[in-house]
Amino acid sequence: MLSRRQVLVSGLSAAGCLLTRAGSLHAYTPDGPLAFMIHPLRAAATKDLPGTLREVAKIGFQEVELISFRGFTGPSNREGFGPLAPLSAVEIRKFVRDAGLSVRSAHFRYAEFDDQRIDYSLEWARALELSYMTISDIGPAATMDEWKTHFDRLNQLGERVAKAGMQLGVHTPNELWRRHDGVLAIDALLQNVSAANCQIQLEVSTAQNYGVDNADFLARAGTRVFGVHLRDAKTPPQPVNYLAAVPLGQGDLEWRAILAAARQASIKMHIIEMNTQGAMDPIQALRLSVDYIRNLSID
């Protein structure tokens, strides 16, 4: 009879997630490369994108999650990618490959799927050879009826993205964790938008912000979640607009439970995202986070 530890090891390997050896989490398997999100690195990336990709790859990452540089050109600290907007997808893909990285997902503004912009978005995504086009800012909506309008649109967009050979995804903003008529908006999304049309990318800090247990959500959502943004934070007394990230293990999230639930859900992408809001160099925060994962023990 297999011991509990042997079962854990076997399950992790089969799921293509994190391997356990001698009770520790180690590097990702080829089927589940460790990824980082480019967005928090905008200050460095806009000055030297190839160099930034190479520097982060040396930490031990095998994959990068990009964003639509055209979609994030504004002046706010959540945007700022204007200098990279002129780059073609072919140029970007070459930078990624030259750094020894791969790319499967990129974030897009919801507005980039409007009738006037969707053709360009699809063309750019195909040229990058993406698997997932991930909407970063679905909503907002004040009522469930307004959400259902968004859900109808997601079904339509998902069909169009699928025809282009990719999968539509939704990154989970704060709005999806709010309740309307006693129902979480994200639960309503799972009920009203087909799995074929839209998958979920779980942003763990937004669930944390609203007191939602990430491991419980992963257990409920199952294979509807294609990826998890790994970032830690201190839990606020009340929900806030944005939780600044801290390196994994330095906040309040229970990573053993989250990673175990992610394994059970056969999560395809694990993406470390360190938007520290200036409290720490994001590359150093990525380095500390990788060290934490590689040394985290699982019973």
Q: What is the pLDDT of residue 72?
A: 96
Q: What is the pLDDT of residue 74?
A: 84
Quote the CA–CA distance of 184 and 176 in Å, as a whole number.
7
The encoded tokens of residue 245 equal 């990230």
Q: What is the pLDDT of residue 298?
A: 59
Distance of CA 2 to the CA centre of its chain: 34
Q: What is the pLDDT of residue 13?
A: 39
Q: What is the pLDDT along the chain (299 residues), one digit of tens a residue?
A: 444 334 333 333 333 344 333 344 443 333 368 999 999 999 999 999 999 999 999 999 999 999 999 999 987 777 899 999 999 999 999 999 999 999 999 999 999 999 999 999 999 999 999 999 999 999 889 999 999 999 999 999 999 999 999 999 999 999 999 999 999 999 999 999 999 999 999 999 999 999 999 999 999 998 999 999 999 999 999 999 999 999 999 999 999 999 989 988 999 899 999 999 888 999 999 999 999 988 887 55
Q: What is the pLDDT of residue 15?
A: 37
Per-residue exposure over 175-195, b if at least 16 CB sit within 10 Å of its own CB, e if not: bbbbeeeeebbbebbbebbee
Q: To the nearest 10°, report the CA torsion of 32, 261, 25, 170.
A: 40
Quote the CA–CA distance of 137 and 152 in Å, as a whole number.
16
Q: What residues form DSSP beta bridges with 28?
A: 18
pTM recorded for the entire structure: 0.89
Q: What is the pLDDT of residue 263?
A: 86
Quote the CA–CA distance of 258 and 164 in Å, as a whole number.
33
Do the beta carbons of residue 155 and residue 193 sit within 8 Å? yes
* Domain range 34-292, CATH class: alpha beta
DSSP sequence for 1-49: ---HHHHHHHHHHHHTSEEEETTEEEEEPTTS-EEEESGGGHHHHHH-H
Q: What is the pLDDT of residue 201?
A: 98
Quote the CA–CA distance of 108 and 118 in Å, as a whole number.
10
Length of the chain measured in residues: 299
